[in-house]
Amino acid sequence: ELEVALKVVIVGNGGVGKSSMIQRYCKGTFTKDYKKTIGVDFLERQIEIDGEEVRLMLWDTAGQEEFDAITKAYYRGAQACVLAFSTTDRDSFEAAHSWKLKVENECGEIPTVIVQNKIDLIDQTVVNPEEAELLARALGCRLLRTSVKEDINVAAVFRHLAARCLAD
């Protein structure tokens, strides 16, 4: 039986929790300051979806997103996308649309989940729930709210994407 391997890219403004999410999902840990391991392009985790083994390769950036300098190699061959913004960062929410276009330019239409991270900080939210729903509808994507810190809904993001890819 063939093993399915999926390259997943995680985009969004700096500071929204992308690296933390990859670390949480693949290593089960959370730290206040996650530093990318030099020389490692991605972390992976294997899961089972409807009896099928799926190897997810989660590609991280080294902070280039802040300088709009993500290379084509990052996007090349990506089959699914996590588009993340932060509950406490209005700019990251406003930037979601342009991140979607960027991924579309490089990868075409691939299964994408919009993630509102840091939901543990909902008391300090700068994005109201309706706005987030509207954004997801406008971009034609599922919206999931996560806390990487509290490990809420993180696995659901990747299960959803893997299932979507298998269904295609």
Q: Counting contacts by CB under 6 A, is residue 120 touching ligand GDP?
A: yes
- Cα dist from 68 to 12, 20, 72, whole Å: 11, 20, 12
Q: Counting contacts by CB under 6 A, is residue 102 touching ligand GDP?
A: no
CB 44 → ligand GDP: shortest distance, Å?
17
Q: Counting contacts by CB under 6 A, is residue 118 touching ligand GDP?
A: yes
CB 145 → ligand GDP: shortest distance, Å?
10
Gap between the Cα atoms of 36 and 34, Å rounded = 6
Number of chain positions touching ligand GDP (CB under 6 A): 17
Burial state string for 91-123 with b = 16 or more CB within 10 A and e = fewer than 16: ebbebbeebbebbeebbeebbbbbbbbbbeeee
CB 66 → Mg ion: shortest distance, Å?
9
- Cα dist from 72 to 17, 57, 68, 100, 103, whole Å: 22, 17, 12, 15, 10
Q: For ligand GDP, which residue of 32, 50, 68, 168 counts as binding (CB under 6 A)?
A: 32
Q: Which of ligand GDP, Mg ion, none binds 47 (CB below 5-8 Å, type-dependent)?
A: none
Q: Counting contacts by CB under 6 A, is residue 17 touching ligand GDP?
A: yes
Binding stretches for ligand GDP (CB under 6 A): 14-20, 32-34, 117-118, 120-121, 147-149
